[in-house]
A = this chain, B = another copy of it.
């Protein structure tokens, strides 16, 4: 039975895309709906999102951000106010043209992002320097009319949070932009066990209307990069378009400086593709809706069942979420299910174990089994969960580092891009032309100009002229 269940997933190395979709469906994270390109997030998938929300929201509130809710519609004239922004988004928005039986006098787009609404609101409510900064965030769904869609990674509707802040000075706004990027990076590393490269987007890749876009870039198991969170500095760009002014201490009219930053349900795709294996999902304990799954073995053995529920009770007292799978399915089937769902630790316990006062712990990250004393099981599990969380991060980081290569000329770059996936580190002169050519000829795009690495000078990988920046390049989702 176990064989059968597992065989229903495509092997990860045979067809990564199909493996990914199989895991999304078989682990019951999502289901398709009759609305093309829109997914149903099922209870298990949504529980992961709730954990992500709760961890991020805690960090936002600790840094004095407040949640609000803006309308889901944006009137066309409002969307059109900032030129770059509308050019970036108009081609992919859904338009509401009728309300009830009447045609609207002005069509409304379903928000693809809410900069314009926040701008209008800030213009209304901020009068003086005393009202600044405003640090708002909203949790909502947004719509972008994508042509090709995939669960979590690219769907016409997705869930996200969007932070929008306004400040009295450019310095303060820039500081906010980087502070939020750091929160995203730490969240990915500490909670999701996903290592990320923090950096700045090139002019070409930045957000529509932004002055600077910062990003965290993760590398999936197949070596394809995933932009996992972005933070934008707008300067006073929108402020001028939306007339967002305030009176400073000297009673002079000034423009506000603005930021926005967002993370989406796409990050669940990153968790799947960073950690998952041929048995299914592998969840880092810090985000797992169920941390421990107990499988009693031996039908109708009331002492085994009793011991299982006793362990569950002790774990729950320690706030460790736990499920006992006492269904009628065979042990092998239940093992396979618990692996498919990526539950960090499984406890197997049968009559023989119980006689010896032991049970078996199986860790999901390595599938390693170990016998422990039942009397010690809660302590062992606490240690094991910490170890799994750490091991998953280290393993992902080693793999990422291993798949990050440095090249010094375009032949190397092109060869590498054609033969394997991963991050390619290469110098760049800063010209849009070279960036376009690299995409055209090597099929890779600039992911970011990394923060934590010194640019040591050298030549542009494409044109050979003096380089100005070190850039991470790669294939991307």
Chain A residues with a Cβ under 8 A of chain B: 31, 33-35, 38-43, 46-47, 49-50, 66-75, 78, 91-101, 107-108, 110, 117, 120-121, 124-125, 136, 140-141, 143, 145, 156-157, 159
- On whether the beta carbons of B78 and A34 are closer than 8 Å, the reply is yes
Copies in the complex: 2
Known: A95-B98, A96-B96, A98-B94. A42 touches B68 (CB 8 A): yes
- On whether the beta carbons of B33 and A72 are closer than 8 Å, the reply is no
Residues of chain B lying within 8 A (CB to CB) of residue A31 = 121, 124-125
The 4 closest A-B pairs by CB, nearest first: A38-B71, A43-B66, A99-B145, A41-B69
Residues of chain B lying within 8 A (CB to CB) of residue A40 = 68-71, 117, 121
- On whether the beta carbons of A35 and B108 are closer than 8 Å, the reply is yes
- On whether the beta carbons of B35 and A74 are closer than 8 Å, the reply is yes
Question: Please, how many angstroms separate the alpha-carbon atoms of A124 and B178 in the complex?
Answer: 45
Q: Which of B42, B67, B71, B92 contacts A35 (CB 8 A)?
A: B71
Question: Please, how many angstroms separate the alpha-carbon atoms of A50 and B139 in the complex?
Answer: 11
Q: Measured between C-beta atoms, what is the minimum distance from A471 to chain B in Å?
A: 31
- On whether the beta carbons of B33 and A46 are closer than 8 Å, the reply is no
* 17 chain-A/chain-B pairs, Cβ below 8 angstroms: A34-B75, A42-B68, A43-B136, A46-B66, A46-B68, A47-B67, A72-B72, A73-B157, A91-B100, A93-B99, A94-B96, A94-B99, A94-B100, A94-B108, A96-B96, A99-B145, A100-B145
- On whether the beta carbons of A157 and B67 are closer than 8 Å, the reply is no
Residues of chain B lying within 8 A (CB to CB) of residue A108 = 35, 94
- On whether the beta carbons of A43 and B68 are closer than 8 Å, the reply is yes
Residues of chain B lying within 8 A (CB to CB) of residue A78 = 34
- On whether the beta carbons of B99 and A96 are closer than 8 Å, the reply is no
Residues of chain B lying within 8 A (CB to CB) of residue A140 = 141
- On whether the beta carbons of B95 and A68 are closer than 8 Å, the reply is no
Q: Measured between C-beta atoms, what is the minimum distance from A234 to chain B in Å?
A: 20
- On whether the beta carbons of B72 and A143 are closer than 8 Å, the reply is yes
Question: Please, how many angstroms separate the alpha-carbon atoms of A136 and B43 in the complex?
Answer: 8
Name which residue of chain B comes closest to A159, CB basis. Answer: B69
- On whether the beta carbons of A110 and B96 are closer than 8 Å, the reply is yes
Question: Please, how many angstroms separate the alpha-carbon atoms of A50 and B66 in the complex?
Answer: 11
Question: Please, how many angstroms separate the alpha-carbon atoms of A392 and B209 in the complex?
Answer: 50
Question: Please, how many angstroms separate the alpha-carbon atoms of A156 and B92 in the complex?
Answer: 24
Question: Please, how many angstroms separate the alpha-carbon atoms of A70 and B38 in the complex?
Answer: 8
